[in-house]
Amino acid sequence: MASTEPEPKPLSGAVQFEEWDFAALSPAHERDPEWNERRLNARRRLLTLAKAAAKAFAANGLKLDVRTSLHNPHAFNGKRVRRLWAYLMRGKLEKTRLRKVLGRDLAKDLDSAFRNAYLCLAIEHDRLEVSLRIHPDAWYDGQNLKNRIDRQGVQGWLEQLRDLEGFQLRLHDWKGEWRGGSELRPEQLEEFLRFWTPGEHQLVVDKTWPVPAAGPAREAALGEGVGEELVRELTRLVPLYRFTAWSEESDHLFSS
């Protein structure tokens, strides 16, 4: 099943990462507040990319809010910054609808990104990443997906993941992975579903680019086209996000 999402428009200004963006997240500097300005610059680059993606998605009817993670050492991140994220999560209107479905008690703290299925752009000291993530605390999105599969069979989810060559499906902190693309088989997803429990395990579909200390891969991560490539690959995840996350169009949470 080919994606119907439009190709994102070229960014108005090239977003390039710098050597310092990666160094600021390394074990040598992850706790150092003197590197906050460097991390802030990297955070702003991610924000620019995420906003460009969100604008393209909104033009096709999917309105997502954009947020970024902390760039400074804080109690919330264990006083070290190993990773910077830009989140794209359900917008205000969709949150209001979901609150009505869940009720006040179940929908508390819905404004937190990790309590929603979300799309993600991330940088670490040795890699770049785009992903779709369902944290255990976003159990309603996980349950929405699981109910949909239980009722419709695994084929629809399989078709979504077969369109994602180069991505991998991962379960929580397990070392194993299920690679997307044409070779993915129904029995592999059935194996995943035997172990995955929404509310207990995180579900991740991601694609990563290693950024070693030197060599062609590092040069590519610092190149002019990397920003557009990240947005383009994030766009490939939109059909899966629509298939997965609860919405009025994808309501499998409590409906029979």
Q: Domain limits at 225?
A: 19-244
Residues 114-138 pLDDT 10s: 889 999 999 999 999 999 999 999 9
Count of CA atoms in the C-beta half-sphere (13 A) of 98 = 28
Tokens representing 59 are 């033009």
> In this structure, is residue 190 part of a structural domain?
yes
**Structural domain contains residue 10:** no
Q: Is 73 a domain residue?
A: yes
In the predicted structure, residue 1 carries a pLDDT above the cut 50: no
CA distance 114 to 75: 17
Dihedral (Cα; 228, 229, 230, 232), 10-degree rounding: 80
Query: Tens of pLDDT along 92-103?
Result: 888 888 888 888
Predicted confidence (pLDDT) per residue in 26-53, tens digit: 999 999 999 999 999 999 999 999 999 9
Token pair for residue 128?
A: 């770049």
* Tens digits of residue pLDDT in 132-145: 999 999 999 999 99
Kindly tell me if the per-residue pLDDT of 256 is higher than 70: no
Task: Report if residue 253 sits inside a domain.
Answer: no
14 domain residue, yes or no: no
> In this predicted structure, what is the pLDDT of residue 2?
42
Predicted confidence at residue 3, as pLDDT, reads 46
Q: Amino acid identity of 225?
A: G
Highest mean pLDDT among 53-62, 155-164, 173-182: 155-164
**Who has greater pLDDT, 11 or 58?**
58
Q: Percent of the chain beyond pLDDT 70?
A: 94
CATH number at residue 210: 3.30.930.20
| Radius of gyration of the chain measured on its C-alpha atoms | 18
Statement: residue 150 has pLDDT above 80: yes
Q: What is the mean pLDDT of residues 196-220?
A: 94
Residue 86 domain-assigned? yes
Total of domains in the chain: 1
Strand partners, 42: none
Q: Give Cα separations from 29 to 92, 114, 211 (angstroms).
A: 36, 26, 17
Query: Which of the two residues, 10 and 206, has the higher pLDDT score?
Result: 206
CA dihedral 81, 85, 159, 54 (to 10 degrees): 180
Residue 11: inside a domain? no
What is the overall mean pLDDT for the chain? 91
Cross-strand bridge partners of residue 83: 124
Count of CB atoms within 10 A of residue 228's CB? 17
Asked if residue 256 is part of any domain, the answer here is no
Structure tokens at 123: 């940088």
